[in-house]
A and B are shown apart, each in its own frame.
Chain A
Amino acid sequence: MTGVWLNRIWHAVLWIPVVFFSHPLLAKNLYGDSNLNLPVGVTHMSREVYSLHMIIFWICVVIAVVVFGVMFWSLIRYRKSKGAKAAHFHENTLVEILWTAIPLVILVVMAIPATATLQKIYDTSEAEMDVMITGYQWRWHYEYLGQDVSFFSNLATPPEQIDGREQKGENYLLEVDQPLVLPVDTKVRLLLTSNDVIHSWWVPQLAVKKDAIPGFVNENWTRIDEPGIYRGQCTELCGRLHGFMPVTVKAVSKEDYQIWLAEQKQQAVEKAAGNEREWTLPDLMAQGETVYNTYCAACHMVNGQGIPPAFPALAGSPLTTKAEGRATHIELVLYGKAGTAMAAFGSTLSAADLAAVITYERNAFGNNTGDVVQPAEIKQQLKPTE
């Protein structure tokens, strides 16, 4: 009696791997395909990639079911405990040829649509607009080629949410201060490069993933069908904040895109004006804090304490507190320090932002020097390289 039960349990146990493998299907039925599978996406290419994915997935499932089916059937049928006697065959040319040839055919069947799709992905011709995407540690820079519009796109999730001091928002880690805005129904060529290490730009809904490699430019393209916000992330390990480098694309109608573009151009003009005028200390401090928290806090920390020895503290450093350090301080922020993670911000930030952040660093974190650095001074310093 117990023997029978033990045997049944044994059977059930043998089937566990099979059940396990069919689990994706089970799960899919149970929960709907919300986030158990690739998104179908919002471009023609993404749908094509999705269907390719499903084809190869099902082929693999069928192969698995057949192979494991025969295997588990043999395991159950030919148990020694059931008195099975081993046969003596150990070769069979026909089946060996068959099970070499059939997989080969299956592979060809997979390769054909894959090749076709890949060729389309590689066809960047006839693009209607170009966007240059540059990876920085750890933010993306977007430049609309020929439009004089460019900006950085930074993580917008506040550190409090990351540390668990605050409730995490819906788009935790996937939100940015300024998304890449693209018009729908437009073939956009994406040019990718990097300013420092290798990054990779990925938006699942567009089925676009391409590495941004310093010194080289990669091409890709997309043509979005529906307006909406599409989120992705950097997918190449790029250092400390690799996990905090989201990509957000906002697709809008062609008309809205034109309106947005005009706004951007207007803002660029205003920004340029900011570089010309004199600022007050409170204004500089306010702007400086924003800039600092976006661009500098990643390494030097919000409280200016840094993470010594890798990233020095700015609070109480001779450079940021002493009058003699002022020139070096400015120099360092503008030109960075070769061979360290301290990048040159002279070409990244506007003169006003630079002035603001330097002023901020000299007055925040208890540095209280009372120093004011004006955009004009920064521009003076930047001149030689212009």
Chain B
Amino acid sequence: MSGSYYVPASSKWPILMVVVLALLVIGAGSSLSFGHGFGLFLAGMVGVLVMMFVWFRDVIHESRSGLYDAQMDRSFRMGMAWFIFSEVMFFAAFFGALFYIRVFALPWLDGEGEKGISALLWPDFSASWPLLKTPSDAFTGPAEVIDPWHLPLLNTVLLVSSSITLTIAHHALKNDQRNKTKLWLLLTLILGFVFLVVQGIEYVEAYTQLGLTLQAGVYGGTFFLLTGFHGLHVTLGACVLTVILLRVWRGHFSSRSHFGFEAASWYWHFVDVVWLGLFIFVYVV
């Protein structure tokens, strides 16, 4: 173990990443605040993708040239695990907001509980979830909400099975069954992709037919906040899995050492678990 820990002498990717991020945030900020700069934002976005590509490419190179030892492998594992933990906390904030709104804020506005006196301001309001009618006319609630037992149920099935197919792929990889790995991984990706398409359909329906929009009061807000960020994570996870699939194709992983694969699958399972929470608390309950 001694002296084998790989420390790259220097690297230009981090600083270049910061540069493209600068484009991204300056573009985003000025287009949101002052209505121009969207192009810069897009350029930054592309830049970030490129940088991720080259940065990861280097890491993969190093890994394949045998520069990493078991200790390095553990560093990567810890890094990924704790990164996922921080993502869990990110979603926890949103779930917390959802519970707070439902358990405290809305009943108070409706005259129940310790701050029920607030109903003085909203005499006509009655709390319900889904919140179809908001306290003030300044916001219009959704006309209808999404039936959990149609598309969302389908999506649940899709995502849960994709976790299973991914596990099968992983086992196959551990047993050195290359083709089986590719097959199941591909299947996982397809399931993920279909999930995204279904969610897209659901969003279109929400906007065009149900009046369920970001602006539709706090129901719309929490709905899109939670499902939207989840959707972004699925997209990201799918991108990562695509890269992993390409790498399997190129014969990158061995049956014993395939941390890239594992990290991607942790991430995928995490996204899956978040979905289960969403399905229960956003759609069903």
Contact = CB atoms under 8 A, between A and B. Distances in A.
Contacts of B132: none
B115 A217 contact: yes
Contacts, number: 23
A292 to B, nearest CB: 28
B121 interface: yes
Nearest to A216: B118
Contacts of B122: 215
Interface string A190-215: 01010000000000000000000001
A215 B115 CA distance: 11
A218 B121 contact: no
12 contacts: A132-B120, A191-B117, A215-B118, A215-B121, A216-B108, A216-B115, A216-B118, A216-B121, A217-B118, A217-B121, A218-B115, A219-B117
The 4 closest A-B pairs by CB, nearest first: A216-B118, A217-B118, A217-B117, A217-B120
A132 B120 CA distance: 10
B28 to A, nearest CB: 20
A193 B117 CA distance: 11
B217 interface: no
A218 B114 CA distance: 10
Given A216-B108, A216-B115, A191 B120 contact: yes
A218 B117 CA distance: 8
Contacts of A216: 108-109, 115, 118, 121
Nearest to A124: B117
Contacts of A219: 117
A233 to B, nearest CB: 25
A215 B135 contact: yes
Interface string A123-158: 000000000100000000000000000000000000
A219 B113 CA distance: 13
A215 B109 contact: yes
Contacts of B117: 191, 217, 219
Interface in B109-145: 109, 115, 117-118, 120-122, 135
A141 to B, nearest CB: 14
Contacts of B121: 193, 215-217
A239 B261 CA distance: 52
A219 B122 CA distance: 16
Interface in B83-126: 108-109, 115, 117-118, 120-122
Contacts of B109: 215-216
Nearest to A132: B120
Contacts of A193: 118, 120-121
Interface string A212-247: 000111110000000000000000000000000000
A34 B116 CA distance: 41
Contacts of B120: 132, 191, 193, 217
A217 B115 CA distance: 7
A216 B111 CA distance: 10
Contacts of A218: 115
Nearest to B108: A216
A191 B115 CA distance: 11
Contacts of B108: 216
Given A216-B118, A217-B118, 18 more contacts: A132-B120, A191-B120, A193-B118, A193-B120, A193-B121, A215-B118, A215-B121, A215-B122, A215-B135, A216-B108, A216-B109, A216-B115, A216-B121, A217-B115, A217-B117, A217-B120, A217-B121, A219-B117
B149 to A, nearest CB: 34
A153 B115 CA distance: 26
A129 to B, nearest CB: 15
A306 B61 CA distance: 62
A295 to B, nearest CB: 23
Contacts of A132: 120
A188 B108 CA distance: 23
Nearest to A213: B118
